[in-house]
A and B are shown apart, each in its own frame.
Chain A
């Protein structure tokens, strides 16, 4: 298995531009998570999906952020318009969700820099 695949690996954009981050979870994993990691705030959960349905988006910082999962093999996290404070590493993770536990497999991350 290729693991969780994220793209792009690096994105540099200017304030006000739209940013779209993409994620392909591990095949057969029912849960998909979007996390953001910064030095100041650590690893924060933004939103997660179960069987393509958004379950909890309470971590999404504001309306500029949106996430979709149109099918079991693809999810996007969109920021529109982007701001410098959105600069962070965004991780996608997936989990099989069995046994009631929550073992996460992370993608390589997308490093976003907003100028």
Chain B
């Protein structure tokens, strides 16, 4: 079966750095997406990785290792507004997105 695993909840301090991990087992791989979702709102796109390595975009970076079926989202200089759920999604061999359950990130002052 297809499976995406990510921690249910994480807590971090304002100004700090947090890494949210995602492991996946899918039938085929055509890229991994990270989305941010605030409560009651639709997800918004953060990043896309299809090749191994680190993609940096401002305070957010995303890493992919295809051989390990592993990705992480790194958030630096955390701000209170970063409190949200972070969803990992993998495009399988049919380019269908398989979604993780999301990681709820709580930022404390």
Answer yes or no: do A and B interact.
no
